[in-house]
Structure 1
Amino acid sequence: MIRNSYFINIIRFVLLILVQVLVFNKLNFFGYINPMVYILFLYWYPIKEKRQLFLLLSFLLGFLIDLFSDTVAIHAAATVTIAYLRPTIMRFCFGVNYEFQNFKLTNTTKAQQITFLTLLIIIHHLVFFTLEIFSFENTLLILKKVLTISIATLILCLLLSSLFSVKKE
């Protein structure tokens, strides 16, 4: 069972990098909207796994996306930021429930799951576009990009999440 979990996480890690680099980095809705669906790895990652490993994998995920996207550690900084803030975001979305041993993301309400994913995406994009543009003069541009690309990313992440979710019976 544990080995199966590691195998699934490795497959998710590799597939999300490939899909992001080969498909979503090539899309350009309205000239500037490129959804970042690789954030799903940070959403799906098991809650009770070691935090140091999660932070390392988050950095590696962001670094590999940076490597293929010709960005200078911006993805890595954004993914490590949301990986670091994930327990706080989970506490906000799920209360103290997630700290129990038997907590699973699939046992929560859809509204809680969407709120959790939305906060991960917005914080990621806020860090990413602030570092990319890095100018107080362009605050409105940063907010415009965060809002529009977050909506596109959220829609695609929800579609991919529902497509690959395990149905409860």
Structure 2
Amino acid sequence: MNNTTVLNTFRFIVLVFFQVTVFNNIHFFGYVTPYPYILFILLYPLNTNRHLFLIFSFLLGLILDTFNNSGGVHTTACLTLAFVRENLLKMSFGYSYEFHMMRITDKISSELVTYVVTSVLIHHTILIGLEVFNFNFILEILLRVVTSSIFSILLIFLIIGLIKSPRK
């Protein structure tokens, strides 16, 4: 096993563990639940097999659906995010996104902020929209999407700051 495989396996296990044990139990004001586990999808290396990436994203969502008894909403949101990730990278970083992905955790840039915010909003909109799935509660859906997204984005940047490679 190479270094990247070990790192991604460790990242997968740690993010799932903390999502299930800690973050799923946080419900500020009944609306805010952070979902930083999507950091696995956001930071997954680009130079790997796309089908394998989609399978890992499916497994990530399936594991969380199993622990949350949520009927597939995490799986759908994870697969959607994994499917559109390349387009989000092109939108955020331009066509040289492969170069930027190798250094994504080196510094916080406007491109990284755009990538993370857009990804989190897409994921949370699908997740919470399918979870509530009633247009009579559109204001509740919007409130939960916005508040959970803000909290998740803050946690993701905190985690990125903690795993940032030291300056040379």
Q: TM-score range by the shorter chain?
A: over 0.9
Change beyond 3 A, Cα 1:103–1:162 = closer
Which letter maps to 1:53?
A: L
**Number of the residue aligned with 1:142:** 141
- Pair 1:93-2:92 in alignment: yes
Q: Which runs of 5+ in 1 are unaligned?
A: none
Deviation string for 1:86-134 (max 9, x for gaps)?
Answer: 011011001100256x852436761111111111100000111111111
Counterparts of 1:99 and 1:154 in 2: how far apart (Å)? 22
What code does the residue aligned with 1:158 have? Answer: F
CA distance in 2, matches of 1:83, 1:39: 9
Matched, 1:7 2:3: no
Q: 1:167, CA displacement in angstroms? A: 2.0
Deviations 1:35-63 (A, max 9, x none): 00101101111111111011000000010
Q: Is the 1:105–1:113 contact (alpha carbons within 8 Å) kept by the matching residues of 2?
A: no
Secondary structure of the structure 2 residue equivalent to 1:25: helix
Matches within 5 A, 1:113-152: 113-152=112-151
Q: Give the Cα separation in 2 of the matches to 1:125 and 1:160.
A: 18
Tell me how large the CA RMSD over aligned residues is.
1.7
| Inter-partner Cα distance in structure 2 for 1:160 and 1:22 | 17
Do 1:97 and 1:103's aligned partners in 2 also have CA atoms closer than 8 Å?
A: no
Conserved 8 A contact 1:125-1:146: yes
TM-score, normalization: structure 2?
A: 0.93
Question: How is 1:14-163 mapped onto 2 (pairs within 5 angstroms)?
Answer: 14-99=13-98, 104-106=102-104, 110-163=109-162
- The number of residue pairs the alignment matches comes to 167
Measured in 2, the distance between the counterparts of 1:124 and 1:88 equals: 14
- Name whichever of 135-144 and 5-14 sits farther off: 135-144
Q: Which has the higher contact order (CA 8 A, sep 6+)?
A: 2
User: d(CA) in 1 for partners of 2:101 and 2:153?
Assistant: 24
Q: Secondary structure at the match of 1:31?
A: coil
Task: Name the % identity.
Answer: 36
After TM superposition, the runs of 4+ consecutive aligned structure 1 residues lying more than 3 A away are none
User: Could you say if the C-alpha distance between residues 164 and 138 of structure 1 is closer, same or farther in structure 2, counting changes exceeding 3 Å?
Assistant: same
